[in-house]
Amino acid sequence: MQDTATSTLLAQRIIDNVSHVIVGKRSVIELAVATLIAQGHMLVEDVPGVGKTMLAKSLATSIGCSFKRIQFTPDLLPSDVTGISVYNQQSGEFQFREGPLMSQVVLADEINRATPKTQSALLEAMEEQQITVDGVTHKLHPPFLVMATQNPIEYEGTFPLPEAQLDRFLMRISLGYPNLEEELAIIEGQEQSHPIDSLEAVANSQDIIGLQEAAKSVYVDRLVRQYIVSLTEATRNHREVSLGASPRASLGLFRTSRALALIRDRDYVIPDDIKMLAPGVIAHRIMLSPSARMRGVQSTDVVEDLLTNVPVPGATR
């Protein structure tokens, strides 16, 4: 098992490498790497053109794992994602022809442009790291990461993700628009060629598995664990929420907090880690009440309200 210092250096090297392509978004890249270390899956939601797909491609390139991209469209079928059994006339048997989901890193581009039936083809793979085709189960190779991108549901031709599938994503992040200096740097960086063309891997699959194992040894005090559960439980009693976060949200905060602590060269978790991660881990798992939606309340507003009102362990009001 890697020690904390070695693991931190490796994680920072991956973040630095991705930062060559995604300019000025280091905190977002940090969250993406934390999701990878926590063995979760990531949903990147934002308007077109801010670098959602490029974040996924640059992260996949940096960690040196097998990579496939699936462009989700309304006519995409589940078998186009998982694979299909084809009859071989010479052998007289059915042979499994792998779909793009049989990769270590899968980019599900514009996932909400496909129908719910096709979206659900990812569920078994995301939860159990296996797929079943025609009654035969096929194991996926670790590390396995689904990075899905989606446009806001108000855009033309989008299908909202079912709650069950949203809950499978450990983290939902947003890149946002760059500021003036960052956008100038993006233009200058692509004057001759795109930075992704010269990006090289700085880690391999065994390195990532080592990071994932190292994160399991990060200490989480009982008071911090109580804080995690208190935040999740508070979503179920909030006045603006009709469906609160599930226990999977608590587990997600627990796992990602250990990964973030490792990235920041600590072998213990502090409440500030939880505060940084809570919007990305909890917000997409709660369903707002109809009255809250009519008033324009966002799920992130609810999480910020909880972070203000739920007592932090060891702090004084």
The 3 state secondary structure assigned to 131-187 is EEECCEEEECCCCCEEEEEECCCCCCCCCCCCHHHHCCCCEEECCCCCCHHHHHHHH
Average pLDDT along the chain? 87
pLDDT at 158 over 70: no
Cα–Cα distance list, 270 to 7, 173, 207, 252 (Å): 18, 21, 25, 16
Q: What is the pLDDT of residue 1?
A: 53
Residue 45's SS3 state is: strand
Residue 133 β-bridge partners:
136
Query: Where is average pLDDT lowest: 25-29, 238-242, 312-316?
Result: 312-316
Provide the whole-model pTM: 0.88
Hunting for tokens 């007289």 — which residue is that? 92
CB contact at 8 A, 169 and 284: yes
pLDDT at 39 over 60: yes
Domains by residue range for the chain, with CATH? 218-317 (1.10.8.80)
pLDDT at 82 over 60: yes
226 or 46: which carries more pLDDT confidence?
226
Q: What is the pLDDT of residue 41?
A: 93
Q: What is the pLDDT of residue 72?
A: 87
143 upstream amide cis, omega within 30 of 0: yes
153 or 167: which carries more pLDDT confidence?
167
107 or 260: which carries more pLDDT confidence?
260
Find the mean pLDDT for residues 226-241: 93
Nearest to 279 by CA among 238, 235, 313: 235
